[in-house]
Amino acid sequence: MQSSENTTQISEALEVATKAGYILLENGAEISRVEETMNRIAKYFGVDSGNYFVLSNGIFATGNSRKLKNKNPNSQSEQFADVKYIPIRGSRLDKVVEINQLSRDIEAGKYTIETAEKKLEEINKIPPVKGWFQILSSGIGSGFFCSIFGGGLQDCLVSTIAGLILWIFVLKISGTHISKLFGNMVGSIIATSVCIVSIKLGLGVSLGHTIIGAVIPLVPGVAFTIGIRDIVGEDYLAGTTRLVDASVVFFGIAMGVAVTLIGFSKFLGGLEL
The answer for residues whose C-beta is within 8 angstroms of residue 263's C-beta and 6 or more apart is: none
137 pLDDT band (50/70/90 cuts)? very high
> Could you tell me if 257 and 143 lie in one domain?
yes
Residue 19 has pLDDT above 80, yes or no: yes
What range defines the domain where residue 178 resides? Answer: 131-268
pLDDT in tens, 199-257: 989 898 899 999 999 999 999 888 888 889 888 888 888 888 889 888 999 999 999 99
> Could you tell me if 259 and 149 lie in one domain?
yes
166 pLDDT band (50/70/90 cuts)? very high
> Could you tell me if 98 and 182 lie in one domain?
no
Listed residues 124, 156, 191: the one ending a domain: 124
> Could you tell me if 113 and 151 lie in one domain?
no
Q: 3-state DSSP call for residue 145?
A: helix
> Could you tell me if 107 and 146 lie in one domain?
no
* Residue 268: other Cβ atoms inside 10 A: 10
In a domain, 153, yes or no: yes
Angle between helices 236-268 and 221-232 (to 10 degrees): 150
> Could you tell me if 165 and 56 lie in one domain?
no
The answer for residues whose C-beta is within 8 angstroms of residue 250's C-beta and 6 or more apart is: 219, 220
> Could you tell me if 140 and 117 lie in one domain?
no
Q: Total structural domains in the chain? A: 2
What is the rounded distance in angstroms from the CA atom of residue 237 to the CA atom of residue 254?
25
In a domain, 273, yes or no: no
* Predicted local distance difference test score (pLDDT) of residue 78: 60
Of all residues in the chain, the percent with pLDDT exceeding 90 is 38
> Could you tell me if 144 and 115 lie in one domain?
no
pLDDT in tens, 95-112: 999 999 999 999 888 998
74 pLDDT band (50/70/90 cuts)? low
Listed residues 124, 154, 173: the one ending a domain: 124
* Predicted local distance difference test score (pLDDT) of residue 2: 45
Q: What is the mean pLDDT of residues 111-139?
A: 91
Q: What is the mean pLDDT of residues 25-46?
A: 86
> Could you tell me if 101 and 151 lie in one domain?
no
Query: What average pLDDT is seen over the chain?
Result: 85
> Could you tell me if 159 and 86 lie in one domain?
no
Q: What is the mean pLDDT of residues 117-129?
A: 91
* Predicted local distance difference test score (pLDDT) of residue 272: 67
Task: Name the more confident of 146 and 84.
Answer: 146
Listed residues 124, 151, 169: the one ending a domain: 124
Angle between helices 93-107 and 2-26 (to 10 degrees): 150
Q: Quick one: 63 exposed, middle or buried, by C-beta within 10 A (0-12, 13-18, 19+)?
A: buried
Read off the amino acid at residue 1. M
What is the rounded distance in angstroms from the CA atom of residue 180 to the CA atom of residue 187?
10
> Could you tell me if 188 and 105 lie in one domain?
no
pLDDT in tens, 250-272: 999 999 999 999 988 888 776 66
In a domain, 246, yes or no: yes
Write a three-state SS string for 222-251.
HHHHHHHHHHHCCCHHHHHHHHHHHHHHHH
> Could you tell me if 142 and 245 lie in one domain?
yes
* Predicted local distance difference test score (pLDDT) of residue 180: 84
